[in-house]
Amino acid sequence: MTPAPYRVRSRRPDRADTVTLALEPLRGPSPAFLPGQFDMLYARGIGEIPISMSGRGRTGAHVHTIRAVGAVSDALCRARPGDVVGLRGPFGTSWDVPAAAGRDVVVAAGGLGLAPLRTVVRELAAHRRRYGRISVIAGTRTPMTLLYPRELTRWRLAHDIDVHVTVDHPDQDWPGPVGPVTRLIDRIVFEPRRTTAFVCGPEAMMCAVADDLVRRGVPPARVVLSLERNMKCAVGRCGHCQLGPLLLCLDGPVLDYRRVAGLLSVREL
């Protein structure tokens, strides 16, 4: 339960309230992790929160994209290169990207959900020829809150990935679609029975996307979500992250829709 000290190797502001930090251990190598896993990040004297990895640095650094929404995330967002934060991890289940080989892939993100999914898209792009059609659909509040805009363009241009972005609140320059992520499903091409979908975002968004994909014929077991809950321990002992029979820190956060559709349909479970 003791965090290890990690130094902030780099800090990149993504948007007004969001930064991406690359963290390296003060001693020893960075532990390996898989797409979808999370770390517990500790701001000294303030608290600890779960954050999924959004990338892997060249030296194996754990990269996290953090939005300042509370005391701990606010402190982490203010950390500067050279500062030391605490880290425990990696924890939890992961997206099995290689298992999607030979299939069409739909990556659906809502808001900050694009952060953990970036590790999925990077892995898909690194082995592009193993997969069929790859589509990334992402929703964001406003054009200004869109994460990784340059990287989205690079995925489209350099890796033959079909990328679509929709916003809730357009500004006068926004040329693209407006509305929920589900609207983008009509814009992409995939063969449902041969498709694997990786989905992350607010719970309502994930359920809407998953329901839509399943209705179109994607097997529920091939629609894989990352669920979020309050977490304090990350090792199944604090009780905070329960979703019915599941302890999301151990059984999740990444779970297929076949397993969780019934649980997510119960209000306030």
- Give the footprint of other proteins on this chain (CB under 8 A): 1-5, 26, 42, 44-48, 69-70, 84, 86, 228-230, 232-233, 235-240, 242, 244-247, 250, 266-269
Nearer to other proteins, 156 or 259 (CB): 259
Nearer to other proteins, 132 or 242 (CB): 242
CA-based nearest residue to 260, from 227, 231, 230:
227
Question: Nearest approach, Cβ of 235 to other proteins (angstroms)?
Answer: 4
Question: Nearest approach, Cβ of 158 to other proteins (angstroms)?
Answer: 34
Question: Nearest approach, Cβ of 246 to other proteins (angstroms)?
Answer: 8
Question: Nearest approach, Cβ of 46 to other proteins (angstroms)?
Answer: 6
Nearer to other proteins, 158 or 269 (CB): 269
Nearer to other proteins, 175 or 245 (CB): 245
